[in-house]
Amino acid sequence: MSTAHVLLGLLAGGARHGYDLKRAHDERLPQAKPLAYGQVYATLARLERDGFVAQSGQEQDGGPERTSYTLTDLGRARLKDWLTEVEPPAPYVTSTLFSKVVVALLTTDADRARTYLTRQRAAHMTRMRELTVSKSTPGATVGDVVAADYAIGHLDADLRWLQTTLSRVAELQKEVTS
């Protein structure tokens, strides 16, 4: 995820300060890793330096002074370009899960690898159930449901891969130890 582009998107609705952008990010992308305030302000500084946002005012609501930012025409154009760019499928497998399974097969016996795969599958199933329940929880927003659907789709793909890999452990073990 490009934090800069998400912040540009959040600014498309009007001027906001860093605290509000962080809060809006965490609300609108509920399954994403929450942003740190430092990350928001560092990103805003780069966006301002590059001409994509500009300061639009200062507020002080009984607390520290807050600088609001607004999109520039260049920022709107960059956001539009980003939203029309098709994301290429990832060229490399970068999942910790994948790496851990390969290393488990390299360093342990087949029974241990099977045990790990079975435990991991159970953890995925538990998370899938939690997400399914969260979609029907009172107060769940469309954003919550879309985020849960996305996560469930990825968990489902992982579960299919785990099952396939589990059925191939003996074969993979022979290949690794040869």
pLDDT at position 102: 74
pLDDT at position 61: 72
**CA nearest 50: which of 39, 42, 61?**
42
Average pLDDT over residues 36-49: 94
- 3 versus 29: which is more confidently predicted? 3
Contacts of 8 (CB under 8 A, 6+ apart): 47, 52, 53, 71, 75, 78, 79, 82
| Lowest-confidence region among 65-74, 95-104, 124-133 | 95-104
Buried b (16+ CB within 10 A) or exposed e, 118-147: eebbeebeeebeebeebeeeeeeeeebbeb
Per-residue pLDDT at 35 exceeds 80:
yes
Buried b (16+ CB within 10 A) or exposed e, 16-50: bbbebbbebbeeebbeeeebeeebbeebbeebbee
Per-residue pLDDT at 30 exceeds 70:
yes
- 144 versus 177: which is more confidently predicted? 144
- Report the predicted TM-score, pTM, of the whole model to 2 decimal places: 0.67
Tens-digit pLDDT profile for residues 125-169 = 999 999 999 999 998 888 889 889 999 999 999 999 889 988 888
Q: What is the mean pLDDT of the chain?
A: 86
pLDDT at position 53: 96
Average pLDDT over residues 3-25: 91
pLDDT at position 124: 93
**CA nearest 25: which of 134, 75, 39?**
39
